[in-house]
Structure 1
Amino acid sequence: MITRDLDAFLALARDTAPDFGPGTARAAFLVAPDGFAHAVESASDNRYMAAAAAFEPGLAMQQHRALHAALSRQLPTVCFAGDAGTPDAVFPNNVFASARADARSGGAFAPRLVIGRMRHPVRRREAARQDIRGWFREVAGYAELDLSTQPHACELTGALVIDRARGLGYCGLSERCDAAGAALMHEAFGLRATLAFDLAPGEYHANVVLAVLAGRAVLACPEGFAVPAVAQAIARLYPHAALLSAAERDAFAGNAIALAPGTVSMSATAACALRPGTRRMLEAAGFATCQVDLSAIEAAGGSLRCCVAEVF
């Protein structure tokens, strides 16, 4: 089911067991910030992006190496080279994602690499990378589902926040993902149910205002939703939840990820902005916090979660 009807979605989601698949990834990959620079096209609808003068490529590379090291201590993490022709490639989760359907989910497809359709031409170049496609095909043995050549924007796990344990999707509609793109992603990931909702004006991706952590906790900023009650309703589905303030959102606290069952990873900026109640919720949910200084990378309008493409 994919729907904009909140009540219909909640009726299904409340009774959905966490038996769809693992709540956290088995590996991850990054793309190095080679050629890291201000992308004019991306800046046109990303209010979090800094001015060109604020970009520090050398510092971004240093911080990205520290991120790679930190994540490698949690799960196998590989890093592909960047490209000066793709200045936003440091955020590969918008372009590449993976799906795995097992017997518990009722799915019938082999592990697959999903390739998204980006709104801006500067980012569509990333989808053509043969090294990433080849690694999944030849090394990991994944099938390929290419959505990059169809006309509907669907920026994968930037627009679509997935509860992998329950097979539930939360898709924020904006210029970066339209309703048809949401439907394509729902099918591509083989989800049980997806709730589509409008993001608030000025928001570009759902994963800046919403994070589902290992299927048992949620961070949500109501101000990032066109209808704040949607964020509140999503939060009530989980045993542990925190509603983020606008200040926490602006510091990228919503752009967090659980790559291991007991750890939530976020940038140092995000971790410093957490209110005491948010910290207590994460502790009660059993999460230790891994924080990495990504201040230079955050100039490009994304943070830690945006840097991580999960491998399921």
Structure 2
Amino acid sequence: MTVTLQRMPQKRTYLMCPPEFYAVDYAINPWMDTSTPVDTELALKQWERLRETLTGLGHTVHVLPAEPGLPDMVYAANGAFTVDGVAYGARFKYAQRTAEAAAHRAYLAARGWTCVPAAETNEGEGDFAYLPEAYGGLILAGYGFRTEPVAHVEAQDVLGRPVVSLHLVDPRFYHLDTALAALDDSTVAYYPAAFSEASQRVLRQLFPDAVRADDADAYAFGLNLVSDGRHVVLNSEATGMAHKVEAAGYTPVLVELSELKKGGGSIKCCVAELR
């Protein structure tokens, strides 16, 4: 059934980092294949198209300068998690990405953010999603591959919001943002098979009206999306997911990001929200 209600967009502020030094020189997730060539010029064009799409929808996009030696820095969502002017910093699992956390912290601190470095391993907004209107303000937090469960406790203390822990069980969906997305301030879409049975029960209880993705949606990175409450920016491969969000009353906006998918990320991985 197609939903006819009018979804209202909200102006958002985002942070992105250009893929100037992007490469797949190592493999730290199942999508990365060091034998597959990466076209950096095409990656830059696709990234720029994503940035233009977001600004064209009326959002503000700040740009974090890329740094040599950090090929995954383009995945800007992983560097921190922000709520109400407070940035809970990342502490990456893999040494190849460790220096990204300091770059994000320095950028945000210079612009007036209260930055709290993490004592526990977490990968920023890659494993945290915020729903300000769900249950008075709720953080959903993933664990199982990158972020440690103890970081959920730390995030709750730092940000002053209740945190619900969700157990990821499929290594292809190693970050929460590959398996779950906020469609607006109280609604989510998710791929049930990426989560443990217990976490699936929690999600069904919390979000009975969620948009549920299937295998094809998830493998096309269809959950790795950015939404302003009306416009849902999706990987162009995720046509099935586009139909599902459209049926739920949202407006899908497709952007090709094939080169960035080679590193195990898509739309959301490239976009951090600054709240």
TM-score range, shorter-chain basis?
Answer: 0.7 to 0.9
CA contact (8 A) 2:132 2:186 kept: no
- Equivalent residue number for residue 306 of structure 1: 269
* Counterpart-to-counterpart distance in 1, 2:224 and 2:264: 11
Q: What is the Cα deviation at residue 226 of structure 1?
A: 2.2
Gaps of 5+ in 2: 1-8
Q: What is the Cα deviation at residue 265 of structure 1?
A: 1.1
Report the secondary structure of 1:97's partner residue.
strand
Deviation per residue, 1:22-53 (Å, 9 max, x gap): x966311100001111142xx23x11224442
AA at the equivalent of 1:77: V
- Equivalent residue number for residue 255 of structure 1: 224
Task: Report 1:42-81 matches (<5 A).
Answer: 43-44=27-28, 46-74=29-57, 75-81=59-65
- 1:235–1:291 CA distance, 2 compared to 1 (3 A): farther
- Equivalent residue number for residue 109 of structure 2: 137
- Equivalent residue number for residue 194 of structure 1: 163
Moved more, 48-57 or 118-127: 48-57
- 1:206–1:135 CA distance, 2 compared to 1 (3 A): closer
Q: What is the Cα deviation at residue 165 of structure 1?
A: 2.4
AA at the equivalent of 1:89: M
- Equivalent residue number for residue 203 of structure 2: 234
- Equivalent residue number for residue 162 of structure 1: 130
* Counterpart-to-counterpart distance in 2, 1:209 and 1:68: 23
Name the count of aligned residue pairs: 263
CA contact (8 A) 1:99 1:113 kept: yes
* Counterpart-to-counterpart distance in 2, 1:214 and 1:51: 36
* Counterpart-to-counterpart distance in 2, 1:240 and 1:283: 14
* Counterpart-to-counterpart distance in 2, 1:232 and 1:220: 13
Deviation per residue, 1:126-183 (Å, 9 max, x gap): 1122xx54543343x2211111xx2x31112111222132321222212311121121
2:44 maps to 1:35: no
CA contact (8 A) 1:49 1:300 kept: yes
Q: What is the Cα deviation at residue 197 of structure 1?
A: 2.8
Task: Report 1:282-297 matches (<5 A).
Answer: 282-297=245-260
* Counterpart-to-counterpart distance in 1, 2:69 and 2:50: 23
- Equivalent residue number for residue 17 of structure 1: none
CA contact (8 A) 2:43 2:260 kept: yes
TM-score, normalised relative to structure 2: 0.87
Report the secondary structure of 1:93's partner residue.
helix
CA RMSD after TM alignment: 2.2
- 1:158–1:25 CA distance, 2 compared to 1 (3 A): farther
- Equivalent residue number for residue 183 of structure 2: 213
- 1:171–1:249 CA distance, 2 compared to 1 (3 A): same
Gaps of 5+ in 1: 1-22, 101-110
Deviation per residue, 1:73-132 (Å, 9 max, x gap): 2211122221221000011111123210xxxxxxxxxx2222111101111111122xx5
2:215 maps to 1:246: yes
Identity %: 24
